[in-house]
Amino acid sequence: MHAMSYARVGDVASALAEGADPDSRFLAGGTTEVDMLRIGVARERRLIDINDLPLNTIEDLPGGGLRLGALARMSDVAATPSVRERFPMLVQALELGASAQLRNMASMGGNMMQRVRCGYFREAGMPCNKREPGSGCAAQGGFHRGHAVLGTSEHCFATHPSDVAVALVALDAVIHLQGRYGERAMPLEDFFLQPGDAPEREHPIEHGELITAIEVPAAPVARTSLYWKVRDRESYEFALVSAAVAATVTNGVIREVRLALGGVATRPWRARAAEQMLTGGPAISDAFEAAASAELAPAVPHPQNAFKIELAKRTIVRVLERVSAA
């Protein structure tokens, strides 16, 4: 790791002023950032520690929504009673992520910005378009069991690793940003870019722009919700496939459904095709299977990750069966 300087800032204005330095990076919980510095993927020479900023609140919004400060810790969000009551899938996605120690450090804003787990991205000297644009993609024809089948391009097909972002995308969350020239907000779904021909660009965020909060609009449907994570070991591993689902079923008919997938796509994947097919239809296995197949129809398999297509379909069916039985 190279030598760097460090600053600890106490308010947003100073963070933005410091962040103007093009050779700087923000440090929140550090659970991604320190790794990136250690393995030489992050090369900036100044760290701006933002942990003292007043952005760690977890607020209930009138009407049943939530506002999560960017520095709220994953463990604190998961432990908040109103979150547990209104958004079970958010809590499950948090608690099935990382480990207890990591969740105590990791912030919500940092979670949105975490980097892919592709081994070639993390190994200096390997061809990787995301790390060294134009150098190629070693995962193609290489080891890619964990890689994505949806939202891929020939330039990159690394999976977006976050769990909680999947649940948030299903909930139509909105992300709030603040830069030197003002504040803006956008649907969280738009905050994650597909690799396309520029896999190095993962978010529509400017250098030095700060995530301040994530807002979750009220969603009564989320009271019956579920986050399901399939992985080789029981804990402390990223998803091979995951699904966040919320549904309201009355008289065997799906009135409203939210579905998003993790572990299979280059970004938290809102399953809109499936949602559309399911809404207003019967809550039966055949319908679940048809919706799952439609969602996975555009999937692009590679030799080692082809199984994820079938696994994702079965996971979708499983979660839909579960929530509609609830």
Cα–Cα distance for residue pair 24/64, rounded to 1 Å:
38
Selection from 75, 126, 118 nearest residue 98 by Cα:
75
Q: Up-side HSE of residue 155: CA atoms within 13 Å toward CB?
A: 15
**Binding string to ligand FAD for residues 220 to 239, with x set by CB under 6 A, is what?**
------------------x-
Binding pattern to ligand FAD, positions 102-141, x when CB under 6 A? x--xxx-xxx-xx---------------------------
User: How far are the Cα atoms of 1, 170, 184, 311 from residue 174, in angstroms, in the given order?
Assistant: 35, 11, 10, 29
Considering the complex, state which of residue 77 and residue 96 has its C-beta at the smaller distance from other proteins.
96
- Give residue 151's region: left, alpha or beta (phi > 0; psi -120 to 50): left
Q: Which is nearer to ligand SF4, 127 or 281 (CB)?
A: 127
Closer to ligand FAD by Cβ: residue 157 or 238: 238
44: amino acid identity, one letter: E
Smallest separation, CB 125 to ligand FAD (Å): 22
CA atoms within 13 A on the CB side of 109: 28
Q: How far is the CB of 283 from ligand FAD (least distance, A)?
A: 29
Beta-carbon contacts of 6 under 8 Å, excluding residues fewer than 6 positions away, are: 46, 47, 49
Task: Read off the tokens for 20.
Answer: 């103007």
Measured from the CB atom, is 112 or 320 closer to ligand FAD? 112
Q: How far is the CB of 71 from ligand FAD (least distance, A)?
A: 6
Q: Which residues, in sequence order, are CB contacts of 68 under 8 Å at separation 6+?
A: 58, 77, 108, 213, 214, 215, 216
Task: Pick out residues in 147-186 that bind ligand FAD (CB under 6 A).
Answer: 161-164
Alpha-carbon distance of 196 to 204, in angstroms, equals 14
What letter does residue 221 receive in the DSSP assignment? G
Tell me how far, at minimum, the Cβ of 65 lies from ligand FAD, in Å.
20
| 234: partner contacted, choices other proteins, ligand SF4, ligand FAD, none (Cβ within 5-8 A by kind) | other proteins
In terms of CB distance, is 223 or 322 closer to other proteins?
A: 322
Please, which residue, 26 or 121, has the CB nearer to ligand SF4? 121
List of residues contacting other proteins (CB under 8 A) = 1-3, 40, 117, 119-120, 122-126, 138, 141-143, 145, 230-237, 240, 307, 310-311, 314-315, 317-318
The nearer residue to other proteins, 119 or 217, going by C-beta atoms, is 119
How do strand 210-216 and strand 225-230 relate by DSSP bridges?
unpaired
How far is it, in rounded angstroms, from Cα 209 to Cα 106?
19
Instruction: Assess 28 for contact with ligand FAD (CB under 6 A).
Output: yes
The site partner of 314 among ligand FAD, other proteins, ligand SF4, none (C-beta below 5 to 8 Å per kind) is other proteins
String of contacts with ligand FAD for each residue 278-317, x by CB under 6 A: ----------------------------------------
Distance between CA atoms of residues 89 and 217, nearest Å: 14
